[in-house]
Amino acid sequence: MKFKHFLLIFIFGLGIFIRFYNYENRVTFGPEQAVSLITSGRMITEKISFLGEQNMQRATSSGHYLFAGALFSYSLIPFQLLFNFDALSITFYFTILNLFTALVLFFVARHMIDETAAVYTVILFLFSSISIYHSLFIWDQNYSFLIGTLTIYLLFLLKKEYRLKYVFFLGLISGIAYSIQDLYAFTALMVFVLILVFTGKKMLAGALFILGAMLANVSTILFDLRNGLYYLKTSIEYVTDFVKGNNINVSLDYYHLLIFFPGFFLVGGYFISKLHKKSIFYGVLVVCIYIIVNLKSDRIDLSSPTGMPADLTVKNIYNAATIIVDDKPDEFNVAVLVDYDTRGHVLRYPLEFKYKLKPLDIVKYPEAETVYVLAQENYDFLKSKVWELSDCNKNNVVNLAKIGSNYSVFKLEKQ
């Protein structure tokens, strides 16, 4: 076995270890993950939808909310059925997806550059704090690494040799990316322009690209045809609001650019391989510094979920749900007073799908006879101004059970 091959196996082993070390206590299960799972879960228990998750943070000036495409929600369904709606097990799929992307990235880099550059490219991906971070929670953006890698590779192949299948697959992948994140429309346009530059048969290439993109979004197209073009009109209105400067929520964050990260890793791997060819010492030195810097990042926590209280692991959240189930409630609702999601989606998901006990809707707190609350053990309910608790008797709060070292499940009844 060549040294490079041994090194590659060692690197992958270390990348796997970093992701799976203390896995049960490090997986992040917050409101975003819960809402995604609830959306797809109801496609199983209620009815299939042609649209995906509603974006509660992005709405037009007339109050119409944007929706994601349904592909991400569809992708969760098999794993929810396979793992009986267990969030920890479903997250395992995304960790494997992350590692699979590293493997694909290696073969792409080896084909596009050489094996030495491929090894360094994989090191940059596997030990990136952002890559490790995204491997430990459920999110639609986690597909971006693989989509970006495949897009770069197909453009590379198309530049070398014009084939219609490359154009079609670029359209298909761009459509999938747009279904996951509508801001990818700008990148898809860039890919479309590159295709026209690389090919002589521009009309045919353009038609094939559009056909592939439409095929990936066929569920959204069907929804619009049946519902007066709601998705299209809302998207146009949102863009118009942005252009006019209306008061809408528009922001650009790093995760909107995840699609480009494989390109950064490929370029980085190429330049480090050049250093390596001058002296192995320089290549190894750069990589060691890179790994140390990334492992010290705030995005990596080897003891608890990143961005969440240490006690609120997936296991503890599911334990909190079982405490509510054991209390045998009727006409109840749930709240979580830990983060911005006071309406308790992290409890709603296991209660509704794992334990088949559905709380009242998120707008029906006044109708609830009982509200179960996951909060810090010393939370002062008498001073609470949370709307979800406004109709509850805060003078008679029952602490049902402790969760971790700092949190408890409380029971509040209607006044």
Could you tell me if 322 and 242 lie in one domain? Answer: no
The answer to the question of residue 157 being in a domain is yes
The answer to the question of residue 19 being in a domain is yes
The answer to the question of residue 32 being in a domain is yes
Per-residue pLDDT tens digits of the chain, which is 415 residues long: 566 677 788 889 999 999 999 999 999 999 999 999 999 999 999 999 999 998 777 777 777 888 889 999 999 999 999 999 999 999 999 999 999 999 999 999 999 999 999 999 999 999 999 999 999 999 999 999 999 999 999 999 999 988 889 999 999 999 999 999 888 989 999 999 999 988 878 899 999 999 999 999 999 999 999 998 888 888 888 878 777 766 566 667 888 899 999 999 999 999 999 998 888 888 889 999 999 999 999 999 999 999 888 889 999 999 999 999 999 998 999 999 987 889 999 999 999 999 999 999 999 999 999 999 999 999 999 989 999 999 898 888 999 999 988 999 999 998 7
The answer to the question of residue 334 being in a domain is yes
Q: Which of 265, 290, 325 is where one domain is finished?
A: 265
pLDDT (0 to 100) of residue 100:
97
The answer to the question of residue 272 being in a domain is no
Could you tell me if 224 and 337 lie in one domain? Answer: no
Could you tell me if 181 and 320 lie in one domain? Answer: no
The answer to the question of residue 303 being in a domain is no
Could you tell me if 160 and 250 lie in one domain? Answer: yes
The answer to the question of residue 79 being in a domain is yes
Residue 327 structural domain: 314-413
Parallel, antiparallel, or unpaired: how do β-strands 398-403 and 407-413 relate?
antiparallel
The answer to the question of residue 290 being in a domain is no
pTM over 0.75: yes
Could you tell me if 40 and 143 lie in one domain? Answer: yes
Could you tell me if 146 and 14 lie in one domain? Answer: yes
Number of folded domains that form the chain: 2
Could you tell me if 100 and 28 lie in one domain? Answer: yes
